[in-house]
Amino acid sequence: MPTRLTKSAARNIFYGGSAFFLLLYIGLTAHSHYYMVNDSTGGAPLTESVERGKHVWEKHSCINCHTILGEGAYFAPELGNVWVRYGGRDNPDGARAGLKAWMKAQPTGVPGRRQMPQFNLTEQELDDLIDFLRWTSLINTQGWPPNDAG
């Protein structure tokens, strides 16, 4: 057995290692895609209202103050679980009404508190945004945010 690494052995290690890690990369990519499509979203469909709600989210730059699934600014609460916080699992109609009323009541004018601007959203935009927030609450975030308050 040679005690030195020969040129052909180094080449074989390089090609074998490259092939191994390429296959590993392809396998993990396929698994991640499968997981995101089938498990992490809970099979919740992306409806047109969810898509429109995401456009409302982007148009008004909600992410400049809020986080969603940990992404965004930390000036205002995390909204990935706002549907759950408003009781959407047990009473979807009540949660929808509560979220609409809260957004329509902004800014509250309470001294010393951060104020959300009034965006004057239409009923359709409010419904779409709430559908988007409801959809995000169905994503398996593996425990994020760490508490219900966001």
- Tell me, yes or no, whether 56 and 112 share the same domain: yes
Express as a percent the part of the chain with pLDDT over 90: 65
* pLDDT on residue 83: 94
- How far apart, in whole angstroms, are the C-alpha atoms of residue 60 and residue 86? 22
Residues paired with 72 in a beta bridge: 67
- Tell me, yes or no, whether 53 and 122 share the same domain: yes
* pLDDT on residue 42: 66
Residue 150 lies in a domain: no
- Tell me, yes or no, whether 74 and 19 share the same domain: no
User: Following DSSP, what letter does each residue of 28-60 receive, concatenated?
Assistant: HHHHHHHHIIIIITTT----HHHHHHHHHHHHT
Q: Which DSSP helix (H) or strand (E) runs through 93?
A: helix 92-104
* pLDDT on residue 1: 60
Residue 148 lies in a domain: no
Residue 68 lies in a domain: yes
Averaged pLDDT of the chain: 91
Least confident of 5-9, 21-25, 63-67, 144-148: 144-148
Structural domain boundaries enclosing 24:
9-39
pLDDT in tens, 82-118: 999 999 999 999 999 999 999 999 998 888 888 899 9
* Phi, psi for residue 23 in degrees, rounded to 5: -65, -40
Residue 133 has pLDDT above 70, yes or no: yes
Contact of 48 with 37, CB cutoff 8 Å: no
Residue 143 lies in a domain: no
pLDDT in tens, 49-79: 999 999 999 999 999 999 998 889 988 889 9
- Tell me, yes or no, whether 14 and 78 share the same domain: no
- Tell me, yes or no, whether 94 and 54 share the same domain: yes
- Tell me, yes or no, whether 57 and 113 share the same domain: yes
- Tell me, yes or no, whether 73 and 105 share the same domain: yes
Rg over alpha carbons for the chain, rounded to the nearest Å, is 23
- Tell me, yes or no, whether 62 and 98 share the same domain: yes
